Amino acid sequence: MTREYASQYEILEAIRDRLRSQVTDFSTATTCFISDTPNPVRVPSADAFCVVSVGDGQFNDSHFAGGGQYTCTEDALVQVTVYLQHTSDETDRLQQGLLSSDYGIIRVYKQAILKALLVSWEPTDGSGNELLRSQLSPVSATTPTVVEASGGMDFITFTLTFRTEFDWDLS
């Protein structure tokens, strides 16, 4: 396939769709969705869910100087934030939430996301054309923390950040 010009929403949708198809617990619209922020205002009623959101970006001056609108290249970040419901009064629950082989946020979800997005896959458009200039690449992972959501529910959460370099479709 060839590389095509892209819109940032196409990349976000491709990542969301890949996670839905590859990570069982994130297979629905309520367990894996796109948001303007990694911290959604409304929390779905699910034990685990992920949010795909846009991060900061930079435009490459040298590409633009050489090709103008045809090479308006952005090096942008995409964040995948995972939330796992956590009951703070249960003994040893936090360790289980991190390390359990059944539902641990690090052992299960972090590995599943990395595998889904980095092994034998590139974001493509509906025709199978590649959307990125270079391979999707991991940039950082935050420390898992416990956060309180509306309604008094606690979640263990962490964010994986990925780099996406693409040429904007300005047609």
Tens of pLDDT, residue by residue over 44-84, are 888 899 999 999 999 977 766 666 667 788 999 999 999 98
Tens of pLDDT, residue by residue over 97-142, are 666 666 678 778 999 999 999 999 999 998 999 999 999 999 999 9
Catalogue all structural domains in the chain, each as residue range(s) with its CATH number.
8-167 (3.30.2000.10)
> CA angle at residue 135 from 162 to 124, to 5 degrees?
95
What pLDDT is recorded for position 155?
87
Q: Which of 34-43, 93-102, 117-126, 147-156 has the lowest mean pLDDT?
A: 93-102
Whether 90 shows a pLDDT value over 60: the answer reads no
What pLDDT is recorded for position 61?
79
Q: Which of 2-11, 69-78, 104-113, 146-155 has the lowest mean pLDDT?
A: 146-155
What pLDDT is recorded for position 145?
84
